[in-house]
A and B are shown apart, each in its own frame.
Chain A
Amino acid sequence: MSYFTPLAVVGLALAAAPGVWLLEQLVAGQRPAPGRALRDLRIMLGSPLQRPESCDSALFHLAPSLLVLASVVALATVPWAPGFRGIDLQAGALLFVAALAYVTPAMVMAGWGAGRPLAVLGGFRWVALMLAYAMPLAMVITSVAAPAGSLRPTDIVRVQHAVPMAVAQPLALALWLPAVTAVCFLPPFDLPQAGGELFGGVFAEYRGLDLALVALAQRVLLLAVSGMTAALFLAGWEWPLLPPAVWMGLKTAAVAWLLLWAGRRFPRVAVDRALSLAWRVANPLSMLAIVYAGLLTLLFYR
């Protein structure tokens, strides 16, 4: 725990909001208007919390905090630079997946707590989707950890000194990207809130601070996921010429941009299709990815 730097992580989490917002504007092809965004934020924070007309407002108001907690813990496990990281643990990559797993109960709590049929439906969709993608996520983590012989993210970055995992294990990357997009509930996997279909779904009832927390959590999640993708697949800081942190920042931004861009390019996946893809394609392929990772490790990384 010698590297634990809670302040740095919290600062990074807060910086995620404007950073990702800027990217969103750029991807949508709009000129960023920070003044307007600040005004919106002020109005949002100024408005009172909603009391859902349901039986369970405790769960309802707890959910955004759980979401923020999960996303910040996930962010803390990302190795940013050789000397700058939040929690550098032996099982850090596992902690990352474990933190992401807590987005699910948060969604269920939000959907159930809101007490609206469509919100409950949003939670239901989310559970089905995350269940289907839990295994690919864990398997991919394992297959990128295998060459490094360690679940410590910094070790995984170092082992990519010569060849980034994206090149060595393209299949793992292909499984990883949709799964993490889904975890961030970004389009085209924004099933639990699903703009046109569920009208906000699990988040439809949130107002004021709750809404701000949800918005923050989603952006922190995106940052965490992009950072982890850069670290696990794009060799993190391990490229020459530029300073390590700059490389990491550039790669993270590129991944985030890719995820946001894909969200605009594809229609929202249908729930049934997403599920059948996950169970029939992604899960068997993730087994294959692990076998491949094992062979790769035996042949080249020993």
Chain B
Amino acid sequence: MVLASAARSTASPALIVPDEQSWLVWGFDPASDGLEPVLDWGAVRGVLVPDPMPAVLGAPLAACLSELAPTAPVMHRPVSELARSVAAAEEDVGHGNDRAHDHANHRHGHGDHGGGGDHGDGGDHGDGGDHGDGGDHGDGGDHEDMMAITGEPSGDGLVMESIDVSLGPLMSPMVAGLVAEVTLDGDVVAQCTLRALLRQPAVRLKPGGPPPDPLEPRAWAAVLASAAAAGEPPDTAGVWLRMVRVEIERATSHLAWLRSLARLLGWGELVKATRVAVAPLLAAQASLARQGGADRVSVGAVAIEPGDELAAVRELELASEALARLQRLCAGRRLASRTAGRGVVGAAEARAAGLTGPVARASGVGGDARSEDPLYRELGFEPVSGQGGDALARTLLRVAESVAAVELARGSLAHAYSGRPGRGDAQAEWVTLEGPRGPLRARRVGDCLRVDAPGREAVLRVASRAAVGLEWGSALVVLASFDLSGWQVGP
């Protein structure tokens, strides 16, 4: 979950958004408008909330707002209008705070500090009782336990006062809906528990249902659309185009993840490099969105000139160049200094835990659902595989996969326009596709699509294990390196 704000501005409106993956697949890149995550809550002068938010996040959101912006206007906007609203909110702040509380009907109670539970950046405000007795100063809820600490000592055997910190589900480097409960021993993580709060509902295939949830894992939109199409009659160009979009989406998702990692690392150059690489991908996605199917992708999208089909080819070429530069940047020692050797998941552990997707491939185990696909094989697809299983391996693997994905997209785009025959069989009950975070198994039930993602819980377990024993900053980097999601996916 990120709060976006105008770059380098000290006082600006914030935008409560889901993870950056969702943003980018909506086709709107906040960073291209100079919107950067707020890293300093004091600077926030207004809050923009996508509407509707999942019910389970209501209380955290209320707590978050009441703390973040007691004096700032809170605006709720439908997802489709968010892109425009950001600019409008900027203006609002410019004209003073009086026009504040429009859309008051959605405002959550500002006063209920106590009920909010934890809200992200420390977790010590929500549980009001601690402060009530005047006994707490934040870094140690339980003085009784102090004298009898029995917890695992950190590497140097010094048990310091244990500190409980709760991150998420909003306002933290965690993605929306993910809660991390961390016990710190001084500055070292002694314990870590990860929970995903959200549950993926069945995806409605027919239009006309309720508006899409803004926090849905939209990074999978094209993947899901592809799954939905599995049972439909063959469509030569359509099959190839869907593949293009799946691959663009994979690259976008990986790059968006990389950008949030870069933000966590405070690495301006990498943030900029990902922005440069993402822009052509978004443009390509937008121009393809006109080719029909799955218009969910184009919510808030960039306007495309009609008859601009070949734009996608050009944009993909640009993306390919930008990605090559990005790959060189990541291969250097600067990234390794923060990630190498941290959060190691050995091959044996990955296999035993049942990890899937890029995380497993970075440990050198697990396959790629795409290698079963005859169309991918026709494009000469080779699964990318990493070794070492540390945070660096996971990062490099995702970068390499984005590079490969753009190449695949270019290949299949060429096939689409050359009229090569595609596939159209797949009457199997479950269709398995490789999503950005790992394989997805989808099944049609009526006009709904049920999705199952094997290995989603495993990754939470492994990630919490990998963070233990690390210094706080490194632990966060390790957690981020797993590309976690706030969604428990299950049928």
Asked if A and B touch directly (CB within 8 angstroms), the answer is yes
- Interchain CA distance A48-B272 in the complex, whole Å: 34
Do B9 and A203 touch across chains, with their CB atoms under 8 A apart?
no
| Interface pick from A66-74, A132-140, A170-178, A266-274 | A266-274
Known: A43-B93, A115-B137, A116-B122. A194 touches B473 (CB 8 A): yes
Within 8 A of B (CB), among A16-48: 24-25, 28-30, 36-37, 39-41, 43-44, 47-48
Within 8 A of A (CB), among B1-42: 7-12, 34, 37, 39-42
- Interchain CA distance A271-B337 in the complex, whole Å: 11
Do B137 and A266 touch across chains, with their CB atoms under 8 A apart?
no
Do B11 and A44 touch across chains, with their CB atoms under 8 A apart?
yes
Known: A44-B11, A200-B40. A265 touches B269 (CB 8 A): yes
Q: How far is the CB of B68 from chain A (nearest CB, A)?
A: 11
Do B8 and A117 touch across chains, with their CB atoms under 8 A apart?
no
Do B173 and A196 touch across chains, with their CB atoms under 8 A apart?
yes
| Interface pick from B207-215, B260-268, B415-423 | B260-268
Known: A28-B268, A118-B121, A268-B265. A211 touches B42 (CB 8 A): yes
Q: How far is the CB of B228 from chain A (nearest CB, A)?
A: 36
Within 8 A of B (CB), among A194-220: 194-200, 203-207, 211, 215
Interface size class on chain A is 35 or more
Task: Decide if A85 is an interface residue (CB 8 Å cutoff).
Answer: no
Do B139 and A117 touch across chains, with their CB atoms under 8 A apart?
yes
Do B139 and A197 touch across chains, with their CB atoms under 8 A apart?
no
Known: A115-B139, A120-B138, A197-B476. A270 touches B172 (CB 8 A): no
- Interchain CA distance A190-B184 in the complex, whole Å: 21
Task: Decide if A125 is an interface residue (CB 8 Å cutoff).
Answer: yes
Do B165 and A196 touch across chains, with their CB atoms under 8 A apart?
no
Task: Decide if A188 is an interface residue (CB 8 Å cutoff).
Answer: yes
Task: Decide if B270 is an interface residue (CB 8 Å cutoff).
Answer: yes
Within 8 A of B (CB), among A107-130: 112, 114-121, 124-125
- Interchain CA distance A264-B122 in the complex, whole Å: 27
Task: Decide if B94 is an interface residue (CB 8 Å cutoff).
Answer: yes
Do B476 and A53 touch across chains, with their CB atoms under 8 A apart?
no
Do B476 and A196 touch across chains, with their CB atoms under 8 A apart?
yes
- Interchain CA distance A54-B337 in the complex, whole Å: 36
Do B266 and A194 touch across chains, with their CB atoms under 8 A apart?
yes
Do A36 and B266 touch across chains, with their CB atoms under 8 A apart?
no
Q: Which chain A residues border B71 with CB–CB below 8 Å?
A: 47-48
Do A36 and B9 touch across chains, with their CB atoms under 8 A apart?
yes
Do B124 and A116 touch across chains, with their CB atoms under 8 A apart?
yes
Task: Decide if A105 is an interface residue (CB 8 Å cutoff).
Answer: no
Do B11 and A268 touch across chains, with their CB atoms under 8 A apart?
no
Q: Which chain B residues border A195 with CB–CB below 8 Å?
A: 39-40, 263, 266
Which of A24, A50, A118, A270 touches B165 (beta carbons < 8 Å)? A118
Q: How far is the CB of B31 from chain A (nearest CB, A)?
A: 12
- Interchain CA distance A269-B139 in the complex, whole Å: 25
Known: A118-B165, A199-B172, A200-B40. A264 touches B268 (CB 8 A): yes
Q: Which chain B residues border A272 with CB–CB below 8 Å?
A: 471, 474
Task: Decide if B125 is an interface residue (CB 8 Å cutoff).
Answer: yes
Do A267 and B267 touch across chains, with their CB atoms under 8 A apart?
yes
Do A117 and B264 touch across chains, with their CB atoms under 8 A apart?
no
Task: Decide if B384 is an interface residue (CB 8 Å cutoff).
Answer: no
Which of A41, A43, A197, A206 touches B473 (beta carbons < 8 Å)? A197
- Interchain CA distance A247-B75 in the complex, whole Å: 51
Q: Which chain A residues border B134 with CB–CB below 8 Å?
A: 55
Q: Which chain B residues border A112 with CB–CB below 8 Å?
A: 137
Do A55 and B137 touch across chains, with their CB atoms under 8 A apart?
yes
Q: Which chain A residues border B93 with CB–CB below 8 Å?
A: 43
Q: Which chain A residues border B61 with CB–CB below 8 Å?
A: none
Within 8 A of B (CB), among A180-202: 187-188, 190-191, 193-200
Task: Decide if B334 is an interface residue (CB 8 Å cutoff).
Answer: yes
Task: Decide if B456 is an interface residue (CB 8 Å cutoff).
Answer: no
Contact with B along A1-29 (1 / 0, CB 8 A): 00000000000000000000000110011
Task: Decide if B163 is an interface residue (CB 8 Å cutoff).
Answer: yes
- Determine the residue in chain B with the shortest Cβ distance to A44: B11
Among A112, A195, A203, A272, max chain B CB count under 10 A is at A195
Contact with A along B85-124 (1 / 0, CB 8 A): 0000000011000000000000000000000000011101
Task: Decide if B314 is an interface residue (CB 8 Å cutoff).
Answer: no
Do A206 and B476 touch across chains, with their CB atoms under 8 A apart?
no
- Interchain CA distance A107-B8 in the complex, whole Å: 22
Task: Decide if B45 is an interface residue (CB 8 Å cutoff).
Answer: yes
- Determine the residue in chain B with the shortest Cβ distance to A32: B8
- Determine the residue in chain B with the shortest Cβ distance to A188: B266
Known: A54-B138, A267-B338. A30 touches B42 (CB 8 A): no
- Interchain CA distance A260-B335 in the complex, whole Å: 19
Do A215 and B473 touch across chains, with their CB atoms under 8 A apart?
no
- Interchain CA distance A197-B122 in the complex, whole Å: 11
Q: Which chain A residues border B377 with CB–CB below 8 Å?
A: none
Shortest Cβ-Cβ A-B pairs, 7 listed? A264-B268, A195-B39, A196-B264, A267-B267, A267-B265, A268-B266, A115-B138
| Residues of chain B whose beta carbon lies under 8 Å from any beta carbon of chain A | 7-12, 34, 37, 39-43, 45, 71, 93-94, 120-122, 124-125, 131, 134, 136-139, 163-165, 171-173, 184, 186-187, 262-270, 272, 334-335, 337-338, 471-474, 476
Given A204-B122, A266-B269; 8 other pairs, CB 8 A cutoff = A53-B131, A112-B137, A117-B184, A187-B266, A195-B263, A199-B171, A267-B337, A271-B187
A-B contact pairs, 11 of them (CB 8 A): A37-B9, A43-B93, A53-B131, A53-B138, A114-B138, A120-B139, A121-B472, A195-B263, A196-B263, A197-B264, A273-B338
| Residues of chain A whose beta carbon lies under 8 Å from any beta carbon of chain B | 24-25, 28-30, 36-37, 39-41, 43-44, 47-48, 50, 53-56, 112, 114-121, 124-125, 187-188, 190-191, 193-200, 203-207, 211, 215, 263-273
